[in-house]
Structure 1
Amino acid sequence: MTEVERALVGGCCPVNVETRRTAVGRVKATGMSTLPPEDAPEDAPEDVNKQSFWMPGNYHQTVKRTEDAFQACNDIVTCFQERARVERLYAQQLSEWSNKWRPLVDASPLYGSLLQAWQCFLSSADRLSALHSSVCRSLVSEDGDRVRTWQKETFHKKLFGGFKESQDIDTGFLRAQKPWAKRLKKLDKARSAFHKMQRKEHAIRERETHANGNPDVSIEKQKRIQEERELAQLETEKVRARYEKVLEEVTRYAPRYMEEMECIFDQSQEEERKRISFLKQAFLSIHRHLDVTNNDSVKAVYNELHNTLMAINEQDDLRWWKNTHGPGMPTNWPQFQDWTPGKKIKKERKQKAVEAQASTIERSVMIGGVRVRALYDYDGQETDELSFKAGEEFLKTEDEDDQGWCRGMKDGGREGLYPANYVQVV
């Protein structure tokens, strides 16, 4: 048995003297406003005070809050599970969009920094897809599980339905209202008897007044009517005294009743406060997961995209085109050649030497004009691949091939292949 229940069995909740004085003062000031006025007719419409918390049975809405909160938890989990599906579908669509366009973009006629800018949109979509997938997981596995766990720990279901928490509150209110309801019933009975006697006396007075002014009514009959009126008047006074006594008893008990009801109500309020506090933190956690505007990863994605777009340089791109497909390309201008024995073999060797020289010339031109910075870490998988860390700078010596690979040379002279979309032009 809880402390509140023991106090109720003992007759009163453990409240201090100041609380009792406040309750007494409230009753005196309001005249116990929960009671209907004495002059209200029996067949009058139900008074607005009948809806008051203080009237018997009107506490059930407060008790029902426990079941409502349990159902609200179910609705919250279902609501944000649906939002998680939206996040998952969005991540999936971003990834599909990026995969669809990547081969087309890589094979587009654009080149240089303009091509890298277009490719950066696709890589940004991939990173945003991963981010929204993580939002989906957080909503389901973190926020949803958190609410479910709290719900299981907070609400204890009974075997035949309902919750132990709501039953405890309902039992407390019922115990507090039981003696009050008896007194109200007794008061209603006394008031009804008093009003009935008043109506009877009023009817006899009207008969007496009519008889006194009517010469057709005999003196003897007028005397009998007068005697009836006097008896009714005495009976009314007796019933009135009984009614006032019961009313005084109800008024005297009201402060104690109010204290006990407020004690149980405060207990219910504390449980509701804990529920509200938890759900507030749950909503804040959901907000933190959904608010991608404050996510550092999102900021990094769009900052990188912005920097890539700002790095579009028409002069660098035009210089690359000139050196790769224009007048800057090396060539072997025709020269007079005399015939010598073994010329065919010498010619093949010389051709190889010229090609090697042309490759060196082309590479030197690119070394002088294309310096790149690594966007991500890369560990070479083959012996002919370069390895580097994000932020490291080196020289791009050959342009991207059809497979998306470039050739580069680090400051130490190490040469090798690397993925083109892992770097950007400095």
Structure 2
Amino acid sequence: MSALPKETPPEDANNESFWMPGNYQRTVKRTEDSFQACNDIVACFQERARVERQYAQHLSEWSSKWKPLVDASPLYGSLLQAWQCFLSSAERLSALHSSICRALVSEDGDRVRTWQKETFHKRMFGGFRESQDFETGFARAQKPWAKRLKKLDKARGAYHKACRKEQTAHNRETHAKGNPDIAIEKQRKIQEERELASEETKKMHTRYEKVLEEVTRYAPRYMEEMESIFDQSQEEERKRISFLKQAFLSIHRHLDITNNESVKAVYSELHQTLMSISEQEDLRWWRNTHGPGMPTDWPQFQEFIPDNKQKKGKKPVEQTDTLERSVMIGGVKVRALYDYIGQDPDELSFKAGEEFLKIEDEDDQGWCRGMKDGGREGLYPANYVEVMQ
């Protein structure tokens, strides 16, 4: 349990007053304190920048770890897109927090460092020129006052000493008057000592009042000069507070992602993606891709057409009209996995990644018939392509 603050005696409170000699040092020290505060502010938010960088790195690692697993998951359609959107959102947030890290260091930190360098001018033998200027100003304004206070303390001390001496003499005189053992001559001497002490007390009292009056007359001028220096110090401190306020606001602006339009866009797009999950569309996609909606090469009667040029493992190129051929209904769109250069006129040539239609299914020799844009048809190896989803 913390202790209650102790009451400060009036005399101690007076000793702590700004007007007492040397007590302006607290005001002068604000310059060094502000300089150190700048160092602490920069160090504090550099550490926060490291937190932002680590968070960005963790987000990116999390997204990279889960992306291949999510892509290969059994989910499909809009539901899969929603899950993938969480990962892409994390990548965008990672970039955002990386930018926060850079802003805290390169913008906010550099701004404080630059201002600190321009505002605080170090002296060759330590300390700051600003502190020295205020120290000199306060000391010059307080020097006459300190001398008068010292003179006043001396006068007060002399007066109080004379009072004590008079009190002692008075007590001796009172004791002697009621004591028949003390001779008349001795009593007269004690009386004279008391009278001398009284005169000395009056003299010291007059001197004390005179010095006090002098101090009182000088006080307004002293206060004016001290307040003038103090106001200059206050103005410098006001500038420091104003700058640091703006620095803190800048840091707040970088850290406050609740008002960041990029963050709003990330979560807005994520929400839209989640809301666009459609069971009807997903089920329709599955029906058309893996269900009854898939194109099928329904069996049809095929006439035998002899071809002397037929190669082993390849179907002949039929010369009948395209509409009379046994073709796959609607065709299936395929993508080439590898480059292939046709060896005969009845073969197709294509590049890896090229897309065209498969119009006849694979035969027992591993050949399919395809049709490219422009209507050119031909045979190609079935294992050179993949069906597009």
TM class, shorter-length: 0.7 to 0.9
Aligned to 2:331: 359
- Once the two structures are superposed, the pairs formed by residues 173-212 of structure 1 within 5 Å of their partners are 173-212=138-177
Q: TM-score, normalised by structure 2?
A: 0.78
Distance apart, 1:167 and its partner CA: 0.3
Note if contact 2:165-2:197 (Cα within 8 Å) is conserved in structure 1.
yes
Aligned to 2:94: 129
CA deviation profile, 1:66-91 (whole Å, cap 9, x unmatched) = 00000000111111111111111111
Whole-angstrom distance in 1 between the partners of 2:40 and 2:191? 73
Distance apart, 1:357 and its partner CA: 3.6
- Once the two structures are superposed, the pairs formed by residues 298-337 of structure 1 within 5 Å of their partners are 298-337=263-302
* Aligned: 1:111 with 2:76: yes
Q: 1:355 to 1:258 in 2, by over 3 A?
A: farther
Aligned to 1:59: 24
Whole-angstrom distance in 2 between the partners of 1:288 and 1:45? 47
Q: 1:354 to 1:87 in 2, by over 3 A?
A: farther
Whole-angstrom distance in 2 between the partners of 1:235 and 1:340? 152
Could you tell me which amino acid in structure 2 is paired with residue 192 of structure 1? G
* Aligned: 1:149 with 2:118: no
Note if contact 2:307-2:316 (Cα within 8 Å) is conserved in structure 1.
no
* Aligned: 1:289 with 2:289: no
Distance apart, 1:338 and its partner CA: 5.5
| SS of 1:117 mapped into structure 2 | helix
Distance apart, 1:340 and its partner CA: 5.4
Aligned to 1:245: 210
| SS of 1:334 mapped into structure 2 | coil
Could you tell me which amino acid in structure 1 is paired with residue 18 of structure 2? F
Whole-angstrom distance in 1 between the partners of 2:302 and 2:326? 15
Distance apart, 1:260 and its partner CA: 0.5
Whole-angstrom distance in 1 between the partners of 2:226 and 2:34? 22
Could you tell me which amino acid in structure 2 is paired with residue 264 of structure 1? I
Whole-angstrom distance in 1 between the partners of 2:306 and 2:353? 42
Larger radius of gyration: 2
Whole-angstrom distance in 2 between the partners of 1:222 and 1:355? 152
Distance apart, 1:46 and its partner CA: 5.5
Q: 1:245 to 1:355 in 2, by over 3 A?
A: farther
Distance apart, 1:48 and its partner CA: 2.5
Whole-angstrom distance in 2 between the partners of 1:341 and 1:282? 88
Note if contact 2:63-2:87 (Cα within 8 Å) is conserved in structure 1.
yes
Distance apart, 1:354 and its partner CA: 4.9
Aligned to 1:48: 13
Could you tell me which amino acid in structure 2 is paired with residue 318 of structure 1? L
Whole-angstrom distance in 1 between the partners of 2:96 and 2:10? 63
CA deviation profile, 1:238-269 (whole Å, cap 9, x unmatched) = 11111111111011101100111101000000
Aligned to 1:20: none
Aligned to 2:368: none
Distance apart, 1:327 and its partner CA: 1.2
Could you tell me which amino acid in structure 1 is paired with residue 135 of structure 2? D
Q: How many aligned positions are there? A: 322
Counterpart selection for 1:100 from 62, 65, 70: 65
Could you tell me which amino acid in structure 1 is paired with residue 272 of structure 2? N
| SS of 2:124 mapped into structure 1 | coil
Distance apart, 1:51 and its partner CA: 1.0
Q: CA RMSD in A?
A: 2.4
Q: 1:116 to 1:349 in 2, by over 3 A?
A: farther
Whole-angstrom distance in 2 between the partners of 1:276 and 1:93? 37
Whole-angstrom distance in 2 between the partners of 1:49 and 1:210? 40
Counterpart selection for 2:137 from 172, 182, 190: 172
Q: 1:218 to 1:288 in 2, by over 3 A?
A: same
| SS of 2:331 mapped into structure 1 | helix
CA deviation profile, 1:125-165 (whole Å, cap 9, x unmatched) = 11111111111111111111100110010000000100000
CA deviation profile, 1:287-317 (whole Å, cap 9, x unmatched) = 0001111011100000000000101100111
Whole-angstrom distance in 2 between the partners of 1:154 and 1:355? 85
Whole-angstrom distance in 1 between the partners of 2:327 and 2:190? 144
Could you tell me which amino acid in structure 2 is paired with residue 359 of structure 1? G
Could you tell me which amino acid in structure 2 is paired with residue 326 of structure 1? G
Aligned to 1:84: 49
| Structure 1 residues not aligned, in runs of 5+ | 1-43, 364-381, 386-426
Whole-angstrom distance in 2 between the partners of 1:83 and 1:146? 16
* Aligned: 1:227 with 2:199: no
Note if contact 2:50-2:101 (Cα within 8 Å) is conserved in structure 1.
yes
Whole-angstrom distance in 2 between the partners of 1:343 and 1:137? 74
| SS of 1:53 mapped into structure 2 | coil
Note if contact 2:141-2:225 (Cα within 8 Å) is conserved in structure 1.
yes
Whole-angstrom distance in 2 between the partners of 1:344 and 1:336? 23
Q: TM-score, normalised by structure 1?
A: 0.71
Whole-angstrom distance in 1 between the partners of 2:90 and 2:129? 50
Aligned to 2:224: 259
Whole-angstrom distance in 1 between the partners of 2:176 and 2:10? 36
Whole-angstrom distance in 1 between the partners of 2:300 and 2:354? 37
Whole-angstrom distance in 2 between the partners of 1:81 and 1:355? 69
Give the fraction of aligned pairs with identical amino acids, expressed as a percent.
Answer: 77
Note if contact 2:121-2:130 (Cα within 8 Å) is conserved in structure 1.
yes
